[in-house]
Amino acid sequence: MRRGSRIIGVAMVGALGVTLAACGSSSTSASSTSSTPSATTTSMVKPDFGPACSAVPKSGPGSFGGMTTAPVATAASNNPVLSTLVSAVKAAGLVNTLNAAPALTVFAPDNAAFAKVPSATLNSLLANKAALTKVLEYHVVAGRISPAHLAGMHKTLEGATLTVTGHGTNFTVNGTAHVVCGDVLTANATVYIINGVLTPPSQ
């Protein structure tokens, strides 16, 4: 049985209403949900699975409980394991877009994932807003996807699809990036922290 990362009794429903609304996930309709955590249950929220979950702060706005109270870009900015991703999101000008979306699933590369990218390549990407935006949007799917519906092909905001394989608590994205901390809730997104940076097929 999955450990409790869900806040009992609060339904989560959503559809992407920003400029990228045309994108969607093949499993979104069956698993998309939205939540407003209550003050009495927020502190009880815990991650479902993954070895990297232990690196997330145990308390404060960057903790699993704290992240449920903020939209996804803001929540990520409070989490030290996602600081490089947050810098990239800011450079691409996507903070407001991600925060305003009613329901998303985000495959969030951790700092170790970005550290695998050669520094020259990463610096070049961060300096190219158009290319950076495509890469980041390729990590985002419209609608919340639960672990039970995670395996399969999902259309990203970038327009191309990504493929998740695995089941239970073991998932791999595009055959290379592993989910190292899964089913993390923010106010408007479900986040799967991964140990690799995904590249859109067109790039």
DSSP letters, 17-76, are -STTTT--BTTHHHH-------TTTGGG----B-GGGGGS-SSSTTSHHHHTTS-HHHHH
With 0-12 CB in 10 A as exposed, 13-18 as middle and 19+ as buried, what is 99?
buried
- Report how far residue 83's alpha carbon sits from residue 96's, in angstroms, rounded to the nearest whole number: 17
Beta pairing, strands 189-194 & 177-185: antiparallel
With tokens 């329901």, the residue in question is 103
The model carries a pTM of 0.77
Q: Which residues of the chain have pLDDT under 50?
A: 1-46
pLDDT score of 58: 87
pLDDT score of 49: 85
Angle ∠(163,168,169) on CA atoms, nearest 5 = 85
* CATH, domain range 28-32+46-194: 2.30.180.10
CB-based contacts of 58, cutoff 8 Å, min separation 6: none
Yes or no: say if 47 and 182 are a contact pair by the CB < 8 Å rule.
yes
Yes or no: say if 135 and 125 are a contact pair by the CB < 8 Å rule.
yes
pLDDT score of 203: 67
pLDDT score of 44: 38
Yes or no: say if 148 and 31 are a contact pair by the CB < 8 Å rule.
yes
How many CB atoms within 10 Å of residue 6? Answer: 18
- Report how far residue 95's alpha carbon sits from residue 72's, in angstroms, rounded to the nearest whole number: 9
